[in-house]
Amino acid sequence: MRKQFLYCILACTALGTEANALNIPKTYVPKNKSMYHKEWIDFNKNGQKDVYEDPNADINARIEDLLSQMTMEEKTCQMVTLYGYQRVLKDSLPTSEWKNQLWKDGIGAIDEHLNAFRGWGVPPLKNDLVWPASNHAWALNEVQRFFIEETRLGIPVDFTNEGIRGVENYIATNFPTQLALGHSWNRDLIHKVGYITGREARLLGYTNVYAPILDVGRDQRWGRYEEVYGESPYLVAELGIEMAKGLQTDMQVASTAKHFIAYSNNKGAREGFARVDPQMSWREVENIHVYPFSRVIREAGILGVMSSYNDYDGFPIQGSYYWLTKRLRGEMGFRGYVVSDSDAVEYLYSKHKTAKDMKEAVRQSVEAGLNVRCTFRSPDSFVLPLRELVKEGGISMETIDNRVRDVLRVKFMLGLFDSPYQTDLELADKEVNSAEHQAVALQASREGLVLLKNQDNLLPLDKSKIRRIAVCGPNADEKSFALTHYGPVAVEVITVLEGIRNQVNEGTEVVYAKGCDLVDPHWPESEIIDYPLTGDEKKGIAEAVEKVKQSDVAVMVLGGGIRTCGENKSRTSLELPGHQQELLEAVMETGKPVVLVLINGRPLSINWADKFVPAILEAWYPGSQGGRAIAEALFGDYNPGGKLTVTFPKTVGQIPFNFPAKPASQVDGGQTPGMGGNQARINGPLYPFGYGLSYTTFEYSDMRLSSSVITDHQPVTVTCKVKNTGSRAGDEVVQLYMRDVVSSVTTYEKSLRGFERVHLEPGETKEVKFELLPRDFQLLDIDKHWVVEPGMFQLMIGASSEDIRLKKGLEIRAYGRGATGETIQSDPTDFISASKNASHIIHVVDGDYSTTWTGDKGEYISFELADNTKIDHMLVTWKNAEAGSTYEIQISSGGGQFLPVQKGAVKPNADDDIRFNLTSGSDIRILITSGKAEIAEVKLPELRKE
Selected catalytic residue, list 341, 429, 731, 776: 341
- Tell me which residue of 176, 183, 216 sits closest to 197, measured CA to CA: 176
Write the CA distances from 80 to 352, 379, 561, 871, integer angstroms: 22, 6, 34, 63
Separation in Å, CA 51 to CA 264, 549, 626, 645, 877? 44, 78, 51, 50, 88
Give the C-alpha separation, 853 to 877, whole Å.
11
Residues near 65 by beta carbon (within 8 Å), at least 6 away in sequence? 50, 51, 52, 57
DSSP string for residues in 87-124: TTB--SS--GGGGGSGGGG--SEEESTTSS--STTSPP
Query: Which ranges of 701-852 would DSSP assign to H, the alpha helix?
Result: none
Active site residue 341: yes
On whether the CB atoms of residues 336 and 293 are closer than 8 A, the answer is: no
SS3 content of the chain, % helix, strand, coil (to 5): 30, 25, 45
Whole-angstrom distance, CA of residue 507 vs CA of residue 501 = 11
Q: What is the DSSP string of 532-571?
A: PPPHHHHHHHHHHHHHHHTSSEEEEEEE--TTTSSTT---
Distance CA 558, CA 629 (A): 16
CA quadruple 369, 375, 378, 381: dihedral positive or negative?
Answer: negative
> In degrees rounded to 5, what are phi and psi of residue 481?
-65, -20
Distance CA 78, CA 371 (A): 8
CA distances from 677 to 355, 607, 651, 670 (A): 56, 21, 21, 8
CA distances to 93, 618, 647, 733, 799 from 644, in Å = 46, 9, 7, 10, 11
The rounded distance, in Å, linking the Cα atoms of 946 and 941 is 13
Residue 468: beta bridge partners?
509
Cis check for the bond before 420: say yes or no (omega within 30 of 0): no
- Sign of the CA dihedral running 62, 321, 217, 570: negative
Answer for the pair 156, 148: CB distance below 8 angstroms, yes or no: yes
In angstroms, how far is CA 778 from the centroid of its own chain? 23
Sign for the CA dihedral angle at 800, 803, 808, 812 comes to positive
CB 102 within 8 A of CB 383: yes
Q: Please return the burial class of 398, using the count of CB atoms within 10 Å of its CB with bins 0-12, 13-18 and 19+.
A: exposed
In order of 1, 682, 831, 943, the CA distances from 667 in angstroms are: 75, 10, 19, 19
Question: Please, what is the end-to-end C-alpha distance for the chain in angstroms?
Answer: 79
Contact 114, 161 (CB under 8 A): no
- By annotation, the residues acting in catalysis are 341
